[in-house]
Amino acid sequence: MTADDASTPAAIRSIKALTFDIIGTCTDWHSVVSSCLRAHAPVNLASTSSTSASDTASAVNGWASEFAHNWRSAFFTHLLELHERQQMMSGADVYKITLKQTMEKLGVSEHEWSDDVIQDLIKSWETASAWNDTAPGLRLLRKKIVLLGLTNGTTIFTINTNRRTGMEFDGIINSDIVGAYKPNPKMYQTAMKALGASEGEIAMVAAHAYDLEAAKKCGFKTIYIRRATEDMDIDDAAIAAKEFDLVVNEGGLVELARRLGCEV
């Protein structure tokens, strides 16, 4: 047993099931969304930077990344507001509303993009790729542990994502089926009931601290996966202070499989 293995709590190594957040934890949404944004960058963006091609490209790249992260943050905020009001909304509508909010925040004119471009930007979220470690990590984990997707994405969105990326779960529970969004306890309780699991037998895997904190209150063990695009405002010290059962800073799901004693 290596030093890293020894730091994995026995309670985690013996769990029977894992539930996974998908968007951000298993998929890299940022690359495809920012790429689409670059393709539709405001026409005046180049005029605000140097006339050299390299500086223009750098300005566009920076703008697209900033816009993507702000859009993602607005999406999270809107879902939390829906959660607090106990309301549901289609994913496409949430993306459209929060896109408009982000445009206003970052000074993009409502006349900048046509309806077709707006639809292209919204649909870009549906083409996110899996992180390089996701599909192989899931395959390793499934040799020993039951895997369940637990996501705020819609059912058809998740099915299409899984088929496209090669992600393999034993089952999926989506917010549109449960009628609630994480961090609503109903999501975690539904997963626990579906798996016939008791407290301590199941762990939530996510790259979002809020998700794990909510799961912990419902009796889940907690596994934090550090991703470059997620929880960018929370540093390692703050994550450590939250006392999650296991933190995987590098290597993603393949490293998780190794830490849980699955064959690598």
pLDDT digits (tens, 9 = 90+) for 136-168: 999 999 999 999 999 999 999 999 999 999 999
Question: What's the one-letter identity of residue 103?
Answer: M
20, part of any domain: yes
User: Rounded to an integer, what distance in angstroms lies between the CA atom of residue 252 and that of residue 239?
Assistant: 16
Give how many domains the chain has, as a whole number.
2
pLDDT at 53: 65
Q: Decide which of 82, 112, 127 is a domain's last residue.
A: 127
Q: Which of 120, 112, 127 is nearest to 96 (CA)?
A: 120
196 and 237: one domain? Answer: yes
34 and 94: one domain? Answer: yes
Write the CATH number for 173: 3.40.50.1000
163 and 236: one domain? Answer: yes
What is the four-CA torsion angle of 166, 172, 174, 177, rounded to 10 degrees?
130
pLDDT digits (tens, 9 = 90+) for 174-207: 999 999 999 999 999 999 999 999 998 999 999 9
52-71 as b/e: b if 16+ CB within 10 A: eeeebeebbeebbbebbbbb
Strand partners, 171: 148
89 and 198: one domain? Answer: no
231, part of any domain: yes
0.95 cut: is pTM over it? no
Q: Decide which of 127, 155, 178 is a domain's last residue.
A: 127
Q: What residues contact residue 89 under an 8 Å CB cut-off, 6+ apart?
A: 82
249 and 201: one domain? Answer: yes
120 and 138: one domain? Answer: no
pLDDT digits (tens, 9 = 90+) for 221-242: 999 999 999 999 999 999 999 9
| Domain that residue 16 falls in | 3-26+131-259
pLDDT band (50, 70, 90) for residue 56: confident
pLDDT at 256 over 80: yes
264, part of any domain: no
55, part of any domain: yes
pLDDT at 263: 75
20 and 107: one domain? Answer: no
Q: Which of 68, 67, 49 is nearest to 58 (CA)?
A: 49
68, part of any domain: yes
User: Rounded to an integer, what distance in angstroms lies between the CA atom of residue 212 and that of residue 222?
Assistant: 6
Instruction: Please give the helix or strand (H or E) that residue 186 lies within, else none.
Output: helix 185-195
pLDDT band (50, 70, 90) for residue 48: low
188 and 174: one domain? Answer: yes
Average pLDDT of the residues of the chain: 92
170 and 245: one domain? Answer: yes
pLDDT band (50, 70, 90) for residue 44: confident
43, part of any domain: yes
pLDDT at 264 over 70: no
104 and 136: one domain? Answer: no
pLDDT at 140: 97
CB 181 within 8 A of CB 78: no
CB 129 within 8 A of CB 138: no
9, part of any domain: yes
Q: Decide which of 67, 95, 127 is a domain's last residue.
A: 127
